[in-house]
Amino acid sequence: MFLPLVLALVGVATAYPNHFPQSREAHDPDRVEQLERSQFFLRPPESDLVWGDLNVLHTTDIHGWLLGHQKASWPEPNYSGDLGDFASFVTHMKQQAKDKGVDLLLVDSGDIHDGTGLSDGYPPGDVDGHESNKFLRQLPYDVMSIGNHELEQYEVAYDMYMSFIPNVHRYYLSSNVNITILQPSGKPQNVTFGKQYARFTTGKYNVTAFGVIYNNASKDKRLIVQPVEDMIKEPWFTSAIAEKTDVFLLVGHIPVAYELPESKWQKIVEAIRNNTQNKNTPILIFGGHSHVRNCTKYGNDTMALQSGRYMDTIETLGANLTSPTFNFSRRYLDQNRVTYQYHIRDMNVSFDTPEGLSIAKGLADLADRYNLTYQYGMAPKDYLVFPKDWKSKESIWPLFIDKALPVALATDSGRANIPNITIMNNGVLRYNIFKGPFTQNDQITASPYPDVIAYFPDVNFTVANNVTAWLNTHPTPCSNLRKRGDIDAHYPIWLEKATSHVSLGHQEVLTDYMTPGYVTNDTSTCPDTIKGDDTLHYPIDPDVFPPHYMNSTLPPNPPRTVDLIFLNYTVKNVVCALNKLTNSSQYNAKNAKLYSNVTTNQVFGLYALAKWN
Ligand SMILES: *[C@@H]1O[C@H](CO)[C@@H](O)[C@H](O)[C@H]1NC(C)=O
Ligand SMILES: *[C@@H]1O[C@H](CO)[C@@H](O)[C@H](O)[C@H]1NC(C)=O
Ligand SMILES: *[C@@H]1O[C@H](CO)[C@@H](O)[C@H](O)[C@H]1NC(C)=O
Ligand SMILES: *[C@@H]1O[C@H](CO)[C@@H](O)[C@H](O)[C@H]1NC(C)=O
Ligand SMILES: *[C@@H]1O[C@H](CO)[C@@H](O)[C@H](O)[C@H]1NC(C)=O
Ligand SMILES: *[C@@H]1O[C@H](CO)[C@@H](O)[C@H](O)[C@H]1NC(C)=O
Ligand SMILES: *[C@@H]1O[C@H](CO)[C@@H](O)[C@H](O)[C@H]1NC(C)=O
Ligand SMILES: *[C@@H]1O[C@H](CO)[C@@H](O)[C@H](O)[C@H]1NC(C)=O
Ligand SMILES: *[C@@H]1O[C@H](CO)[C@@H](O)[C@H](O)[C@H]1NC(C)=O
Ligand SMILES: *[C@@H]1O[C@H](CO)[C@@H](O)[C@H](O)[C@H]1NC(C)=O
Ligand SMILES: *[C@@H]1O[C@H](CO)[C@@H](O)[C@H](O)[C@H]1NC(C)=O
Ligand SMILES: *[C@@H]1O[C@H](CO)[C@@H](O)[C@H](O)[C@H]1NC(C)=O
Ligand SMILES: [Zn+2]
Ligand SMILES: [Zn+2]
């Protein structure tokens, strides 16, 4: 197995092969076939990792993407590894560390579920993430910490408390999170969710680790998030930092960008440094939540790193703790087998470990059990959630609002012939649809929320036509709109900043075999470091956030009245807009009618069955 690997890499570097260079073992023929059909190849990394005495591999915001990114459109193939591949890589990295006589830790900063069918496609009676999280437990994580998605529903948090945390490989830390559970007597009791902190030795170093999340990360009063400012005053915390240690390891669901209001890392660093014994103790911070690659220095001997989202990035840190000045290196690895095989190429081993293969098989079995490979049709092209122009051909929004909704809702609305204006909110969709097979998994990934579609009949056309613009200019009209998910502005802003505007076609094979991908510019906040990206790319187009509300193309001949169709969860805002625009109080949420029994998470499937077959 060693020889083919080397040849494959040489092949990539010199011969521009028209196929995926390292095909997986025969156990997953569908995937190999899919990857080969797509005619792309992945550029290998530029150089070896720079190891230190203490090394860390970091993941964050995995969001159920345990099968990696399986589509052929760029930049998806850059992230085509799966959790089995990553598990094999970790095993080899641990072995390399052992051979070099150094330490390697594996840490994760939370939001492990919510994002794909593997977590969200569970059958009735099960709990989101219960099955997919079991695979993460098989990896030798030293520290895992909690994300806000683990706190959105009590049943998910409770399931994690009961079945995940007791079984993680090593430490599940949640320094500032408590959960209220019922004692056998029926009395409620609030208890720490995971451990508040851990002290352990890597063999070489004593480590003191915390796992934190940003303030106000929970809206459920049974899931208690203590503000970081209060946590650092707790006696358990002050005594934990009073114990001498070689390194502080802060893992948490907080962006490393210190300008953001939710970023409280500085407070924890200050509290640690306030104890004079810790003045020069290295502090390693691994953040998350804003879904970006980033690196920040919080003063001398303090490094903060963040490694992307959706299994697109594995970050490595190497630190020489004992050298006179604290030296470190960091690298953002594209999450794929070419990356992994490159970084273990000097080891005389075959890449796939039994554990890695078993995880990959388990994931495929779970996907089957959840019917995720069921194919509704073939998508003719890519449709993006964050296109340059939301009305463009690249955009998923006209597909959803003008094409898919009419087909799906016509199945039972009985009102297809009545002119309408349909208003959608940008929280209704979650991810792109890519050219090729459109499966149950793709439907769940793009459009997971079972939102109910409501309407008001006979709305004055002129008024109805003004509702979207009114809502977009009145962010909190009469009530606060329910916020949804992690689709927030950080990620597109980052791409905007981190990349320059270069337009690239999809599936294009570039002559010098540079491929589109992340081009991270973080050296201004991470001084004295070289570029962080492990693989060189052309920058991808920056994402552009669509308007909060968007509406359908207007009926050709303006009618007097229309059905005003909207997402039921935005009814209060729509009513508010209608009453303001008509200067009346004639509209009332109670009078909104159900437009169809079809919920938004079924729309693309119904459309694909009808039009993409
Ligand atoms: C949780 O319980 C502790 C005592 O066990 C109590 O001091 C604290 O106020 C409780 N917190 C909340 C938010 O209920
Ligand atoms: C969390 O629970 C622990 C254990 O019951 C308790 O000591 C602590 O006061 C609680 N913290 C908060 C913020 O509720
Ligand atoms: C780690 O801490 C233990 C005591 O908790 C101490 O005996 C040991 O010397 C420490 N090791 C290092 C490398 O500092
Ligand atoms: C990375 O962190 C720096 C320093 O806080 C911040 O200025 C920058 O905006 C961050 N980048 C992203 C994309 O969050
Ligand atoms: C650190 O110490 C200073 C001076 O004693 C104090 O003003 C500050 O509040 C402390 N900060 C933290 C985070 O403990
Ligand atoms: C940080 O390190 C630099 C260079 O070693 C030194 O000049 C500076 O005083 C240090 N800053 C602090 C706050 O310790
Ligand atoms: C750590 O020190 C070794 C030996 O001096 C060196 O080769 C390596 O590059 C250093 N690593 C980092 C991350 O600075
Ligand atoms: C898979 O899902 C599709 C669409 O919901 C359904 O038609 C089909 O019967 C399902 N198959 C199985 C085996 O559950
Ligand atoms: C809305 O009106 C269009 C014609 O303008 C029609 O094709 C469609 O079926 C109607 N219903 C929905 C839900 O879009
Ligand atoms: C609809 O509303 C517009 C603007 O408020 C008004 O001018 C028009 O008369 C209304 N049309 C009908 C049919 O009520
Ligand atoms: C990287 O970011 C810094 C600060 O935001 C900026 O000054 C610099 O021009 C950027 N470099 C590149 C190559 O875009
Ligand atoms: C609604 O929009 C039309 C243009 O389509 C405009 O003329 C009219 O003044 C607007 N009415 C209100 C109430 O905003
Ligand atoms: Zn997230
Ligand atoms: Zn998050």
Q: What is the pLDDT of residues 128-144, one digit of tens each?
A: 999 999 999 999 999 99
In a domain, 489, yes or no: no
Give the CB-side neighbour count of residue 2, counting CA atoms within 13 A.
6
Are residues 511 and 562 both part of a single domain?
no
Domain coverage including residue 562 = 375-484+545-611
pLDDT attached to residue 512? 56
Q: Which residues line ligand 2 (CB under 6 A)?
A: 178, 190-192, 224, 226
The helix/strand/coil state of 181 is strand
CB atoms under 10 Å from CB of 110, counted, come to 29
Q: What mean pLDDT do residues 541-559 have? A: 90
**Dist. CA 259–CA 263, nearest whole Å:** 7
Q: Say how many C-beta atoms besides its own lie within 10 A of residue 501's C-beta.
A: 9
Q: In this structure, are 589 and 500 located in the same domain?
A: no
- Tell whether ligand 5 has an atom less than 6 A from the beta carbon of residue 238: no
Atom of ligand 3 nearest to the CA of 243: 5
pLDDT at 474: 86
Percent of the chain with pLDDT over 90: 80
Query: Over the stretch 99-133, which tens digit does the pLDDT of each residue have?
Result: 999 999 999 999 999 999 999 999 999 999 999 99
3-state secondary structure 538-585: EECCCCCCCCCEEECCCCCCCCCEEEEEEEHHHHHHHHHHHHHHCCCC
Question: What would the pLDDT profile of 41-51 be if each residue is shown by its tens digit?
Answer: 788 998 999 99
Cis? peptide before 437, omega within 30° of 0: no
Same domain, 425 and 294: no
User: What integer pLDDT is reported at residue 169 of this predicted model?
Assistant: 97
Residue pointed to by tokens 């050298």: 323
Handedness of CA 6, 12, 17, 19 (dihedral sign): positive
CA pseudo-torsion sign 349, 352, 60, 425: positive
For the segment 359-413, what is each residue's pLDDT rounded down to a tens digit? 999 999 999 999 999 999 999 999 999 999 999 999 999 999 999 999 999 999 9
Q: Which one-letter amino acid corresponds to residue 80?
A: S
Which phi and psi (to 5°) does residue 383 adopt?
Answer: -130, 120
Residue 115's SS3 state is coil
Contact 382, 433 (CB under 8 A): yes
In a domain, 338, yes or no: yes
- Does 267 contact ligand 5 (Cβ within 6 A)? yes
Whether the predicted pLDDT of 171 surpasses 80: yes
Please give the distance, rounded to the nearest whole angstrom, from the Cα atom of residue 265 to the centre of ligand 5.
14
Report d(CA 297, CA 577) in Å as an integer: 46
Same domain, 348 and 445: no
CB 318 within 8 A of CB 69: no
- From 365, 370, 371, 443, the mutation candidate for ligand 8 (largest count of ligand atoms within 8 A of CB) is 371
At 32, the pLDDT band (50, 70, 90 cuts) reads very low
Query: Is residue 383, in this structure, part of any structural domain at all?
Result: yes
pLDDT bucket at 40, cuts 50 / 70 / 90: low
**Is 241 near ligand 5, meaning CB less than 6 Å away?**
no
Helix (H) or strand (E) holding 268, with range, is helix 265-274
Contact yes or no for 271/242 (Cβ under 8 A):
no
What is the domain-level CATH number for residue 597? 3.90.780.10
pLDDT at position 67, please?
A: 97
The verdict on 324 and 243 lying in the same domain is: yes
- Do the beta carbons of residue 587 and residue 484 sit within 8 Å? no
Return the half-sphere exposure (C-beta side, CA atoms, 13 A cut-off) of residue 116. Answer: 26
Q: Does a structural domain hold residue 133? A: yes
Q: Which H/E stretch holds residue 235? A: helix 235-242
pLDDT of residue 481: 47
Pocket probe for ligand 3: among 204, 206, 239, 248, the residue whose CB has the most ligand atoms within 8 Å is 206
Q: In which residue are the tokens 């977590």 written? A: 119
- CA 584 centroid distance within chain: 43
Neighbours of 489 (CB within 10 A): 11
Closest-CA residue, ligand 4 atom 3, reads 257
State the pLDDT at residue 531. Answer: 80
Instruction: Identify whether 169 is part of a domain.
Output: yes
Q: Are residues 392 and 346 in the same domain?
A: no
Q: CA 576 to CA 322: how far, in whole Å?
A: 62
Q: Are residues 262 and 336 in the same domain?
A: yes
Band the pLDDT of 508: cuts 50, 70, 90. very low
Q: Are residues 33 and 126 in the same domain?
A: yes
Q: How confident is the model at residue 500 (pLDDT cuts 50, 70, 90)?
A: very low
Q: How confident is the model at residue 479 (pLDDT cuts 50, 70, 90)?
A: low
Q: Pick the atom of ligand 3 nearest to 244's CA.
A: 2
**Would you call 522 exposed, middle or buried from its count of C-beta atoms within 10 A (0-12, 13-18, 19+)?**
buried
Whether 529 maps to a domain, the answer reads no
Helices (H) and strands (E) in the chain, counts: 18, 24
Burial class (CB in 10 A: 0-12, 13-18, 19+), 415: middle
The whole-number pLDDT of residue 300 equals 86
Contact predicate 390/546, CB 8 Å:
yes
Q: Which residues line ligand 4 (CB under 6 A)?
A: 256-259, 290, 292, 294, 296, 490, 494, 522, 525
CATH of residue 23: 3.60.21.10
Query: Region 48-75: what's the mean pLDDT?
Result: 96
| Rounded Cα distance, 323 and 333, in Å | 26
Mark whether 274 and 399 lie in a shared domain. no
Give the pLDDT of residue 555.
84
Structure confidence by residue, pLDDT tens digits, 253-281: 999 999 998 899 999 999 999 999 999 99
> Do 363 and 379 belong to one domain?
no
Residue 190 forms beta bridges with which residues?
A: 180
User: What pLDDT is stored for residue 1 in this prediction?
Assistant: 28
The pLDDT assigned to 214 comes to 97
Q: Are 78 and 310 in contact (CB under 8 A)?
A: no
Q: Minimal CA–CA distance to 84: which of 316, 310, 348, 357? A: 357
538 phi/psi in degrees, rounded to 5: -80, 140
How many independent structural domains does the chain possess? 2
Cβ(582) – ligand 12 distance below 6 Å: no
Q: Which of 50, 104, 330 for a ligand 7 pocket mutation test, highest count of atoms within 8 Å of Cβ? A: 50
Average pLDDT on 601-612 reads 98
Residue 381 and residue 352 share a domain? no
| Distance from C-alpha of 123 to C-alpha of 412, rounded to nearest angstrom | 25
Ligand 6: distance of its center to the CA of 300 in Å? 6
Give residue 511's pLDDT.
41
Answer whether residue 4 shows pLDDT above 70. no
**Non-local CB neighbours of 238 within 8 Å, separated by 6+ positions:** 232, 271
What residues line ligand 10, using a CB cutoff of 6 Å?
460, 462-463, 560
525 in a domain, yes or no?
Answer: no
Q: Is 465 in the pocket of ligand 12 (CB under 6 A)?
A: yes
| 477 pLDDT higher than 60 | yes
Span 275-299, pLDDT tens digits: 999 999 999 999 999 999 999 999 8
Q: Which two tokens stand for residue 541?
A: 């187009």
State which of 459, 462, 463, 473 you would mutate to test the pocket of ligand 12, scoring each by most atoms of that ligand within 8 A of its C-beta: 462
Interval 80-93 mean pLDDT: 98
> Which alpha helices (H) appear in 331-460, and where do they start and end?
337-343, 354-369, 396-398, 405-409, 440-446
Angle between helices 571-581 and 461-473 (to 10 degrees): 120
Ligand 6 atom closest to the Cα of residue 325 is 5
The answer to whether residue 524 sits within a structural domain is no
Assess whether 403 and 289 both reside in one domain: no
Start-to-end CA distance of the chain, whole Å, equals 41
Report the alpha-carbon distance of residue 315 to residue 594 in Å, rounded: 47
Mean pLDDT value across residues 306-314: 97
